[in-house]
Amino acid sequence: MLETIWFVLWGVLWAIYFMLDGFDLGLGALMPALARNEQDKRVVYNAMGPFWDGNEVWLITAGGVTFAAFPGTYAVMFSSLYSALMLLLFALILRGVAFEFRGKVDSPAWKSIWDGCLWLGSFLPALLLGVAFANIFMGIPIDQQGVYQGTLFTLLNPYGLLGGVLFVLLFMTHGSLWLAIKASGELEVRAQAMAKRIWPVLLVAAVVFLAATWFYTRLWANYLTYIWLWILPLLAVIGLLLSRMYMAQNAWWKAWGASALMIVGCTLFGVAGLYPNLLPSSLDPAWSMTVTNSSSSPLTLKIMLGVALVMVPVVLAYQAWAYVTFRHKITDQDLAYEEAY
């Protein structure tokens, strides 16, 4: 029971991470397409400014919780995905530094270096996270000892790549909607148009991914057993449709919320299908890492549950406060602010 609660929490933490960091990863990846000049670029940076760091801590927490609640899975998953994870980390390092360093020297060459880092550090994580999670949904070649019998290229199979494309599109939609909220003038219009332009592509990718999931994974088994689980993919579909509807109504906060719902729905759809596995083995189902064979002791799970049930709502509360405090559109005054990015 405790293990199952932790499995749910594990999925929820990843979903929150994708929902929050998703928009700033997507926006970073789209910056070259959206920002035409220095002013635009600074609006993009400052649109993410007060949020990206707090968003990224959800990744650390999701990783930390995998370690704490399912150390067996953490060990096998992270060592199996070694090269992909290291690429992800290097990308995130360059990205984080880009925010703080870019504006500190007034030189176009210096700035363009960090703009490059922001783009790479946003696009690559979006892609890699999608590839990684699609492979987790499908299962990876781990043997009885939990040793990975593949390479980085094993992960770049059609279904994995499809997952990568889906994540990139999800995050890009999410990011352009965020910019539509935060920017004004031409940039705002461009962001709105971008969201509308990506949406049909996202729709196609989502349908193809869903169909491919039927052939490549065993996620459906749980859905055939527990009919009520259908609410999760349904949430994703509702989020996807609502986001387009709100775009048409020029209700950008609502559209962003709907796209957040889509991301959460997609993540939980996959995670719920995995149960009781956390990392299926594609070589032999018996060698999969599951909630029972890879979890921590009941005592650790109990203590951690206490911490999580108290702290996660507290974190959500103060992060929500920060979002409310900085929810306004970026103005010239914001850009003139001496501490701005």
Partner 1 sequence: MDVLMLSRLQFAAATFFHFLFVPLTLGLSLLTAIMETRYVTSGDQDYKRMAKFWGKLFVINFAIGVVTGITLEFQFGTNWSRYSQYVGDIFGSLLAVEATLAFFLESTFIAVWIFGWNKLSPKMHATAIWLVAIASNVSAYWILAANSFMQHPVGYVIRNGRAELDDFLAIVTQKWAVLEFVHTLSGAYILAAFFVMGISAWHLLRGNEVVLFKKSFKLAAAWALIFSLFVAINGDLSGKEVAEKQPTKLAAMEGLWETTKAAPMYLLLWPDQENERNSVEALPLPGALSFLAFGDFNAEVKGLKDFPVQDRPPVLPTYLGFRLMVGLGTLFILVSIWAFWKRKDPQSSPLLLKILPWLIPLPYLALEAGWLVAEVGRQPWIVWGMMRTADAVSPIATSQVATTLVAFILIYGLLGAAAFWLIFRNARKGPAPVKAR
Task: Please report, for residues 44, 51, 209, 210, the alpha-carbon distance to residue 331 in angstroms, rounded to integers and kept in the order given.
Answer: 12, 17, 40, 41
Query: Which residue number, 29 or 59, has a Cβ lying nearer to partner 1?
Result: 59
- Name the DSSP letter for residue 142: B
Residue 279 parent element (H or E): strand 277-279
Neighbouring-strand partners of residue 323: none
Nearest CA-CA partner of 176 in 185, 187, 161:
187
Give the distance between the most distant pair of CA atoms in the chain: 60
Alpha helices in 70-184 (DSSP H): 71-80, 82-102, 108-138, 158-182
Closest distance between partner 1 and the C-beta of residue 170, in Å? 22
Closest distance between partner 1 and the C-beta of residue 224, in Å? 33
User: Could you tell me the sign of the dihedral formed by the alpha carbons of 221, 222, 225, 227, in that order?
Assistant: negative
Query: Which residue number, 282 or 319, has a Cβ lying nearer to partner 1?
Result: 319
Closest distance between partner 1 and the C-beta of residue 140, in Å? 14
Cβ atoms of residues 268 and 15 within 8 Å: yes
Query: Which residue number, 5 or 57, has a Cβ lying nearer to partner 1?
Result: 57
Tell me the residue type at 308.
A
Alpha helices in 2-107 (DSSP H): 2-34, 38-48, 52-69, 71-80, 82-102
- Name the DSSP letter for residue 226: -
Query: Which residue number, 8 or 75, has a Cβ lying nearer to partner 1?
Result: 75
- Among left, alpha and beta (phi > 0; psi -120 to 50; other), residue 145 is alpha
Closest distance between partner 1 and the C-beta of residue 82, in Å? 5
Query: Which residue number, 148 or 223, has a Cβ lying nearer to partner 1?
Result: 148
What three-state secondary structure class fits 218? coil
Neighbouring-strand partners of residue 281: 140
Closest distance between partner 1 and the C-beta of residue 237, in Å? 32
Query: Which residue number, 68 or 126, has a Cβ lying nearer to partner 1?
Result: 68
Closest distance between partner 1 and the C-beta of residue 332, in Å? 14
Query: Which residue number, 283 or 340, has a Cβ lying nearer to partner 1?
Result: 340
Query: Which residue number, 74 or 246, has a Cβ lying nearer to partner 1?
Result: 74
Query: Which residue number, 101 or 223, has a Cβ lying nearer to partner 1?
Result: 101
Closest distance between partner 1 and the C-beta of residue 1, in Å? 18
Closest distance between partner 1 and the C-beta of residue 57, in Å? 5
Taking the mean position of all CA atoms in its chain, how far away is CA 175?
11
Q: How far apart are CA 15 and CA 179, in angstroms?
A: 21
Which residues make up the interface to partner 1 (CB under 8 A)?
49-51, 53-54, 56-57, 59-61, 63-69, 71-72, 74-79, 81-83, 85-86, 89-90, 92-97, 99-101, 104-105, 145-148, 296-297, 299-300, 303-304, 307-308, 311-312, 315, 318-319, 322, 325-326, 337-340
Closest distance between partner 1 and the C-beta of residue 3, in Å? 13
**Helices and strands in the chain: count of H runs, count of E runs:** 13, 2
